[in-house]
Amino acid sequence: MTLPLLAQIQLATSALPVEGPARQPSFVVFLVATLVKMIVLFTVYMVVVALLTLAERKISAWIQGRLGPNRVGGKLGLLQPAADGLKNIMKEETAPPFGAGFLFTLAPVIAFVPAMMTWAVIPWGAPWDSPWGRIEMALAPLPIGFLYILAIASLGIYGIVIAGWASNNKYSLLGGLRSSAQMVSYEIAMGMSTIPVLILAGNVALSDIVQQQATIGWNVLNLTVAFFIFLVAAFAETNRLPFDLPEAESELIAGYHSEYSSMKFSMFFIAEYANMMTASALMATLFFGGWDIPFTLWDNLAPHTGLKTVLTGLFFFLKVQFFVFTYMWIRWTLPRFRYDQLMSLGWRFMLPLALGYIVVVATVVLALDHFDVPLRSSIGLSPFGLALLAVNVVCCIVLFFWLDRGRVISPATSRVTGAELARLRAAAAQRLSQHPALTTEAGD
């Protein structure tokens, strides 16, 4: 009789590096390596976040048939982020006269810091067996890394809520309240969507989740419904279109940052792009193999050289940027939801779907364990992963082509029946036929 899934995964992943236990670095080496990783991560992170503002404008220009920024830094406008930053630094600082001064200043910081703290546990490359010991490519490779992410990522909402309240502005307050309601509505579905990932990995350490995907295949193939739920919830958590209700310009002017100016105003946008980077890194880690290079086990086998660390880090960066591009692409493709649609989608669709999918995945994994389906075969394929893939295809067909039938992005109910709508359309067509001048004016 074969081992249960968790034991099989642990045995397979531990057998990948054909070597003895990794030599742990001394405290001094660990301290120096951590400081170097902090400096590199912070520098790269901030530079990429700044360049994402340029990428957003260039991608929007490309989609709309424009050139985008091309006045600063040559035709590509590469110095546009620096020019924007210099402009914001030199602008006058304003504050509402009856606002809460200290909290008003603290709110942008609270909105930004959790997004960056989350990166501390995300592995962005394969470990490096240096001459001084094994160096993990994560600032803090905690064994409870996933729980740390859930705890820290949810703190960013406090910055938005505090900003809305401390501004002493009704539009800002409404934006903060919308954001908190949106966060509560979709954070539950996001957490539920990751439970199938933890069921397969048998652990909450992100490094183990990456190794599990190298063993039985990427989770996006085995858990597509969970990925779909996580993707939609990630858009809502980062307040990006079509879920940017907290800062709806047509309704709330600018929402929670209506009273902000200069660099405090810019901090909210920096926090938004930082959250996009963090959410993209989580999607890449949980569902797209993390730093794993597809179609090969070369990056998972010993020896763990510096070349493998660099190449896996590059692949991880490309995966993250793919999701960042998806964020920007969706922004210029879909319109904003109505607020009732936002709430309805979160509570009436996403949450029941996530709960039902947990039951399906747990049942399938228990059944595959019961029937002794092996994790890997002699030819390198994973019968366990293929079985999960087959079940996943059935789940996708049932969800997207049978249960949904085109209603997933319009979950709000309407009191107008189909027959009533047809009657209204017929009446409108009859009025236009009786008064041709109305047709001409409508065309004009």
Residue 62 in this model has a pLDDT that exceeds 60? yes
pTM comes to 0.82
Residue 442 in this model has a pLDDT that exceeds 50? no
User: What is residue 401's DSSP assignment?
Assistant: I
Q: How far apart are CA 374 and CA 101, in angstroms?
A: 62
Q: So what's the pLDDT on residue 381?
A: 67
Query: Domain for residue 68, yes or no?
Result: yes
Average pLDDT over residues 361-374: 85
Q: So what's the pLDDT on residue 413?
A: 52
Task: Categorize the per-residue pLDDT at 438 as very low, low, confident or very high, splitting at 50, 70 and 90.
Answer: low
Helix (DSSP H) and strand (DSSP E) numbers for the chain: 19, 2
Q: So what's the pLDDT on residue 5?
A: 53
Average pLDDT over residues 278-288: 91
Helix 262-287 × helix 306-331 angle, to 10°: 120
Q: How far apart are CA 117 and CA 204, in angstroms?
A: 18
Beta bridge partners of 134: 129
Query: Domain for residue 119, yes or no?
Result: yes
Task: Supply 100's token pair.
Answer: 């809460």
Query: Domain for residue 86, yes or no?
Result: yes
Q: So what's the pLDDT on residue 1?
A: 38
Q: How far apart are CA 13 and CA 380, in angstroms?
A: 14
Query: Domain for residue 438, yes or no?
Result: no
Q: Which residue in this structure is represented by tokens 């960013």?
A: 156
Residue 436 in this model has a pLDDT that exceeds 70? no
The helix/strand/coil state of 135 is: strand
Q: Number of C-alpha atoms within 13 angstroms, CB side, residue 243?
A: 26
Q: How far apart are CA 300 and CA 314, in angstroms?
A: 15
Domain count, the chain: 1
Q: So what's the pLDDT on residue 358?
A: 93
> CA-based Rg of the chain, rounded to a whole angstrom?
25
Alpha carbon separation from 434 to 307, 422, 425, 441, 443 (Å, rounded)? 76, 18, 14, 14, 16
Contact 219, 226 (CB under 8 A): yes
Higher pLDDT, 140 or 411: 140
Q: How far apart are CA 153 and CA 281, in angstroms?
A: 13
Higher pLDDT, 249 or 281: 281
Average pLDDT over residues 262-288: 87
Q: Which domain does 37 fall in, by range?
A: 5-17+26-413
Query: Domain for residue 419, yes or no?
Result: no
Query: Domain for residue 375, yes or no?
Result: yes
For 117-138, what is each residue's pLDDT tens digit?
888 888 888 888 888 888 888 8
Contact 210, 331 (CB under 8 A): no
For 178-209, what is each residue's pLDDT tens digit?
878 888 888 888 889 999 999 888 888 888 88
Q: Which residue in this structure is represented by tokens 């364990």?
A: 369
Alpha carbon separation from 289 to 206, 216, 229, 357, 379 (Å, rounded)? 10, 10, 18, 21, 21
Q: So what's the pLDDT on residue 444?
A: 47
Task: Supply 112's token pair.
Answer: 């930004």
For 296-343, what is each residue's pLDDT tens digit?
777 777 788 888 888 998 999 999 999 999 998 988 888 877 777 888
Residue 384 in this model has a pLDDT that exceeds 70? yes
Q: Number of C-alpha atoms within 13 angstroms, CB side, residue 265?
A: 19
Query: Domain for residue 421, yes or no?
Result: no
Q: Write the DSSP string, 326-389.
A: HHHHHHTTSPPPPHHHHHHIIIIIIHHHHHHHHHHHHHHHHHHHHTT--SS-TTS--HHHHHHH
Contact 234, 137 (CB under 8 A): no
Q: Which amino acid is at 338?
A: R
Alpha carbon separation from 424 to 139, 192, 375, 410, 412 (Å, rounded)? 62, 42, 59, 21, 20
